[in-house]
Amino acid sequence: MRSLALYMLLATLLIAPIMGCSGTTTREVVIYDFQVEERSELSISFRLHSQWTNGCGEVSGFSSRLEGNRYSVRMFGEQPTNAGCTDNMKPISGVWSTRVPSPGKYMFSFRHEGIPLDTTIVFE
């Protein structure tokens, strides 16, 4: 009986970490700040800054939509499901890049709470 209990304990200790980290939790994050990272002809890259609610989060990707001459940009973060994380907020940042379709004036709008976080850039 003691051997069975020891076997079950070892199996749990070995399998639980694998199961706990097998998935990720992804969600949209608020963009707090940005800088133009690189710009050339019709291409531009922005470094976008946000925070994750604990110490486990990382940037997982971006989505963007172009309507007329306005880009709407959203940023997403993820963390391992069931991970043991610190309670401290963690700054996260990532680079989003695009190539505008033609020369002109474009507005870039980043998802932000409260006040708008926009910039307008002219491409010649």
Average pLDDT, the chain: 85
- For 45-79, the pLDDT digits (tens) are 999 999 998 888 999 999 999 999 999 999 999 99
Strands (E), 1-124: 24-29, 33-40, 43-52, 58-67, 70-80, 90-99, 104-110, 117-123
Q: Is the whole model's pTM more than 0.85, yes or no?
A: no
For residue 86, pLDDT beyond 60: yes
Q: Which residue has the higher pLDDT, 21 or 92?
A: 92
pLDDT of residue 2: 57
Give the CATH architecture of domain 2-123.
Sandwich (2.60)
What is the distance between the alpha carbons of residues 5 and 20, in angstroms, rounded to a whole number? 22
Domains of the chain, residue spans: 2-123
Tokens 């709470």, residue located: 113
Residue of 118 and 7 predicted with greater confidence: 118
Higher-pLDDT residue of 113, 92: 92
